[in-house]
A and B are shown apart, each in its own frame.
Chain A
Amino acid sequence: MSHDISASAGPSLKTGFGRWKLLGLGLILPAGILVLWQILGQMGYISDLLFPTPLEILKAFVGLVQSGDLWDHFRISAVRALAGFALGGGLGLLFGLLVGLFAKAEKMLDPTLQMIRMIPSLAVVPLFILWFGIGEESKILLIAKGAFFPLYINTYLGIRNVDNKWFEVTRVLGYSRIQQIRRLVIPAALPNILLGTRLSIGLSWLGLVVAELIASTSGVGYMMSDARQFADTPVVFVGIIVFAAAGLITDYVVRLAERRLLR
């Protein structure tokens, strides 16, 4: 995650030729690895079971797409990740706003929330399964727990970091308390809120994988753990690639929104 953020914070790439050249530069290493991997695999230097060649993975991918299995699993996974993110991220934003805006809410809620934050997600998995079974609830709640904190903390920090000098301006301009929140606090905290959103989405995918690998009968994570049991390694790789792509795409969407909202 932190990688993507530092990349977006840096100076934007120039358009046109330079951009493609840089993209090509970035592709040299992965493309080289893929070619080497393919050659070594075909020559029998690396285990086909542990490292199926890129072409085999591609074949498995095409097969899964054609049978419709991949889409079915992916749809289920995406809905889970999205629902968990909506629940956890939404609450994170709400509590972040409350705690950031009202000192009383901070005193009342923040210590408890920080305590919950310190509990590793994996540690609550057995409890969630006991409480909610292995149905959708436990998965979505697990994802939500992960997605809650980045948005919560970043919203809270964003609001707290609004410089007092801006508040002086709004006082001199005669803003009401509501106007202060709507026209100063929210726009000023927006960069942090969007950063929190990106981190939350990343953690949603992470939580999804954990949830689906542990106990599930559907979804990309299940597809992977099922394939592992049958030593169908190419499918495991397909799952990894699908998760990576989904994470990248959702992150890119938020970054697009970021670019539109922050100028």
Chain B
Amino acid sequence: MAETLLDITALSKNFDTAKGRVEALHKVDLNIREGEFITVIGPSGCGKSTLLRIIAGLDGQYSGTITLGGQKITGPGIDKGFIFQEHRLFPWLTVEKNIAADLSLRDPEIRRKVDDLIELVKLGGFEKAYPKELSGGMAQRVAIARALLRNPRVLLLDEPFGALDAFTRAHMQDVLLDIWRRNQTTMIFVTHDIDEAVFLANRVVILKPRPGQIKSIVPIDLPYPRKKTTSSFQELRLRVLKLLDSMNELELTDGAGI
């Protein structure tokens, strides 16, 4: 097995709200290996987004330790790519300039990498398009390319396909797996879609709410490419579903958004 990339030990996080202190995460321990694809699933309020934001360095003031490649995470940076639920592209920049962002396309090295990435996310021909001319799935692929250009050690995805329709979502899952196979970037993918979680991951991390804690971790030992219709897939899906159901969460419905 590959070595540990991300080590989370006894991570707790509190939020101070008007109603008092809320414990968003309580003593979370998680060890993620280099090149692994992790999906995190759980009902709303389980702290899955918070967990991702802490890893990204966007949220501070937690207790416990998180190290990336042995180094303590002190803040956001390009070694931790982040994909938000909305694409968050800059509307005044074209696709290629959005991907390059603060890097200059006049640099031949950057130019070449951007062209390769546009190829990778299958957006050839749209280099000069503006975000408003793109569909949701295309825009999200640009966002992924933008993150990948910086060669992140880990790609953090916060329900990136949550706003897409079912067909686009399935397509995007294939695209992401394709990227993962080629680049072997470590992925941590937060979702509320059970199919998506099982389809993508090496391991599915199930969180439970109030306070956010790891309920269990389900290894998915199916070979890629996976088919959602096979009985082995359905078995694992059922297992995850049962674990989620046992939390007795009324809002949680099969595969649907909360």
Q: Is the CB of A174 within 8 A of B77?
A: yes
**How many positions in chain B have a CB within 8 Å of any CB in the partner chain?**
21
Out of A166, A174, A187, A263, name the residue touching B76 (CB < 8 Å). A174
Q: Is the CB of B77 within 8 A of A187?
A: no
Q: Is the CB of A263 within 8 A of B92?
A: yes
Contacts of B224 in A (CB 8 A): none
User: A173 on the interface (CB 8 Å rule)?
Assistant: yes
User: B56 on the interface (CB 8 Å rule)?
Assistant: yes
Q: Is the CB of A166 within 8 A of B82?
A: no
Tally the A-B contacts, defined by beta carbons under 8 Å. 50
Contacts of B57 in A (CB 8 A): 171
Contacts of A165 in B (CB 8 A): 84, 86, 88
Out of A183, A188, A262, name the residue touching B102 (CB < 8 Å). A183
User: A195 on the interface (CB 8 Å rule)?
Assistant: no
User: B42 on the interface (CB 8 Å rule)?
Assistant: no
Known contacts A184-B90, A263-B92, A263-B130; decide if A172 and B58 are in contact (CB<8 Å).
Answer: yes
Instruction: Mark contacts of B84-106 with chain A using CB atoms, 8 A cut-off: 1 yes-contact digit, 0 otherwise.
Output: 10101010100000000110000
Instruction: Mark contacts of B134-167 with chain A using CB atoms, 8 A cut-off: 1 yes-contact digit, 0 otherwise.
Output: 0000000000001100100000000000000000
Out of B78, B92, B146, B147, name the residue touching A187 (CB < 8 Å). B92
Instruction: Mark contacts of A177-211 with chain B using CB atoms, 8 A cut-off: 1 yes-contact digit, 0 otherwise.
Output: 00100011001101000000000000000000000
Query: For the complex, what is the distance from the CA of A176 to the CA of B56, rounded to whole Å?
Result: 17
B127 to chain A, nearest CB (A): 15
Contacts of A169 in B (CB 8 A): 84, 88, 90
Contacts of A173 in B (CB 8 A): 78, 101-102, 146, 150
Interface majority SS (helix, strand, loop, mixed), chain B: loop
User: B81 on the interface (CB 8 Å rule)?
Assistant: yes
Contacts of B130 in A (CB 8 A): 263
Q: Is the CB of B102 within 8 A of A179?
A: yes
Query: For the complex, what is the distance from the CA of A175 to the CA of B102, rounded to whole Å?
Result: 7
Query: For the complex, what is the distance from the CA of A262 to the CA of B101, rounded to whole Å?
Result: 18
User: B80 on the interface (CB 8 Å rule)?
Assistant: yes
Query: For the complex, what is the distance from the CA of A224 to the CA of B77, rounded to whole Å?
Result: 64
Contacts of A262 in B (CB 8 A): 92
Query: For the complex, what is the distance from the CA of A152 to the CA of B77, rounded to whole Å?
Result: 34
A166 to chain B, nearest CB (A): 7
Q: Is the CB of B92 within 8 A of A172?
A: no
Contacts of A179 in B (CB 8 A): 102
Contacts of B101 in A (CB 8 A): 173, 175, 183
Contacts of A188 in B (CB 8 A): 92
Out of A166, A175, A183, name the residue touching B88 (CB < 8 Å). A166
Contacts of A171 in B (CB 8 A): 57-58, 75-76
A162 to chain B, nearest CB (A): 11
Q: Is the CB of A168 within 8 A of B58?
A: yes
Instruction: Mark contacts of B239-255 with chain A using CB atoms, 8 A cut-off: 1 yes-contact digit, 0 otherwise.
Output: 00000000000000000
Contacts of B88 in A (CB 8 A): 165-166, 168-169
**Chain A positions near chain B (C-beta within 8 angstroms):** 165-166, 168-169, 171-175, 179, 183-184, 187-188, 190, 262-263
Apart from A171-B58, A172-B82, A173-B78: 12 A-B pairs, beta carbons within 8 A:
A165-B84, A166-B90, A168-B84, A169-B90, A171-B76, A172-B76, A173-B101, A173-B146, A173-B150, A174-B78, A187-B92, A190-B92
What are 19 residue pairs bridging A and B, where the CB atoms are less than 8 Å apart in the complex?
A166-B88, A166-B90, A168-B76, A168-B88, A169-B88, A171-B75, A171-B76, A172-B77, A172-B78, A172-B80, A173-B101, A173-B146, A173-B150, A174-B150, A179-B102, A183-B90, A187-B90, A188-B92, A263-B92
